[in-house]
Amino acid sequence: MHLIQSATFKLTLWYLGIIMLLSILFSFALYRLSYDQMSTNAVRQINAVERLPLPPEFQAQRDSYVQSLVDQLNSGLHKLIYRLVLLDLATFLIGGGGSYLLARHTLQPVEDAMEAQGRFTADASHELRTPLTAMRTEIEVALRDKQLTATEARSLLASNLEEVNKLEALARGLLRLARAENTLDPAALETVSVRGIMAEAASRFQTELADKKMILDVEVGSEYVSGDKAGLIELVCILIDNAIKYSPEGSRIAVRSSLAGNSVAVSISDQGVGIKAADLPHIFSRFYRADRSRSKDKVDGYGLGLSIAKRIVDLHRGTIAVESTPGEGSTFRIKLPA
Ligand code: ADP
């Protein structure tokens, strides 16, 4: 965070510099105005006194009166300078504090983004290291074993392949996330039918649905949204994929859509394990997985899906929300501009 500290310091100096420049210019202007006014007054008074027809014996008194007027003018100007310097000093102190607070406030989002980036890199490397460490240990143990049989070698390779598949899935997730991080390409925007998106997404899950004897019940209207078709299909696929992953065999997933004012509302409900209230606020964060400790019926994943989904929805200026009852199921609701 050294970078942020030095940036805060520099920005504070810039803000303070601008404040002080304005303050000093203001002081000069005030000084000039007051100087002109005070000296014009004094000159007028002196001229008036000097024009008085006085006998010569009063000459000394007149001179001393004129002198006192000049002294008054000088002391008035000194007092003015003293006050202006005090004012500038106060501006320096208050402005310095204010500038620091303003600089911190300005740089806070940058600091937050850098922190999130750092956390993301740490999480990503941790997730990458875990399968690598598992593979390395298995290979090392196998290499030390002089009597390793062909069957054992095959089982080792099979286990390694599993880890490689996990790494591949992680790399794919990271790539999808990086792609979703970028802004929507205006050239890729088109009018997409909700029915078309659902049909395409549903066709990708035929095998998984059949394997788990699940039913994907899609009942959508003829709504259209404006967006990036590939991104929207990916969004729906993430939600259907989760609904399948976190639901028991033989359960049902319902997909519905409706027009709500200027938006199209799409809901995807499952009869799965549900999400605990404590996890709900975090499930859209990168690498967050609810119930990591649950070892039986463990579901593979890296906690990237919903953060990608959220990013796609944000890029389309939509909203995504979830309602869930543990043990009963979850409903994800998306709203997209029609
Ligand atoms: P992943 O599924 O790879 O763990 P996601 O970002 O897609 O990552 O989901 C984050 C977490 O939210 C999951 O680990 C899971 O605990 C929870 N979750 C997401 N969708 C569902 C769902 N339909 N039912 C139950 N839990 C879900």
* Cα 12 → chain centroid: 23
Give the confidence band of 297 by pLDDT, cuts at 50, 70, 90.
low
- The pLDDT tens digits of the residues spanning 225-252 come to 999 998 999 999 999 999 999 999 999 9
Q: Which residues of 293-313 are buried (b: 16+ CB within 10 A; e: fewer)?
A: eeeeeeeebbbbbbbbbbbbb
Q: Tell me: the pLDDT tens digits for 24-46?
A: 999 999 999 999 999 999 999 99
More confident residue, 186 or 141: 141
How far is the centre of ligand 1, averaged over its atoms, from the C-alpha of 293 (Å)?
Answer: 14
Mean pLDDT throughout 259-280?
Answer: 94
Averaged pLDDT of the chain:
91
Question: Does ligand 1 have an atom closer than 6 angstroms to the CB of 273?
Answer: yes
Q: Is the CB of 269 under 6 A from ligand 1?
A: no
pLDDT at residue 1, rounded to an integer: 65
Per residue in 61-114, pLDDT tens? 888 999 999 999 999 999 999 999 999 999 999 999 999 999 999 999 999 888
CA distances from 151 to 44, 126, 139, 305 (A): 115, 31, 14, 36
Task: Over range 320-335, report the average pLDDT.
Answer: 96
Question: Residue 292: its pLDDT value, please?
Answer: 54
Q: Which of 205, 251, 283, 297 to mutate to test the pocket of ligand 1 (most atoms within 8 A of CB)?
A: 283
Residue 138 C-alpha to ligand 1 middle, in angstroms? Answer: 29
301 lines ligand 1 (CB under 6 A): yes
Q: For residue 295, what pLDDT is reported?
A: 42
For residue 329 and ligand 1, the question of a CB distance below 6 A is answered with no
pLDDT digits (tens, 9 = 90+) for 302-327: 889 999 999 999 999 999 999 999 99
Give CA 64 to chain center in angstroms. Answer: 74
Q: Is the CB of 306 under 6 A from ligand 1?
A: yes
Q: What's residue 181's pLDDT? A: 73
Tell me how far the alpha carbon of residue 246 lies from the centroid of ligand 1, in angstroms: 7
Closest CA to 242 of 199, 197, 275, 285: 275
The pLDDT of residue 319 is 96
Does the structure show a pLDDT above 90 at 175? no
With 0-12 CB in 10 A as exposed, 13-18 as middle and 19+ as buried, what is 232? buried
> Between vectors from CA 214 to CA 212 and to CA 217, what angle results, nearest 5°?
160
pLDDT > 90? residue 281: yes
270 lines ligand 1 (CB under 6 A): yes
Q: Which of 169, 241, 227, 173 is nearest to 197 (CA)?
A: 227
Q: Give pLDDT tens digits for 176-187.
A: 888 777 777 777
Cα of 299 to ligand 1 centre, how many Å?
Answer: 9
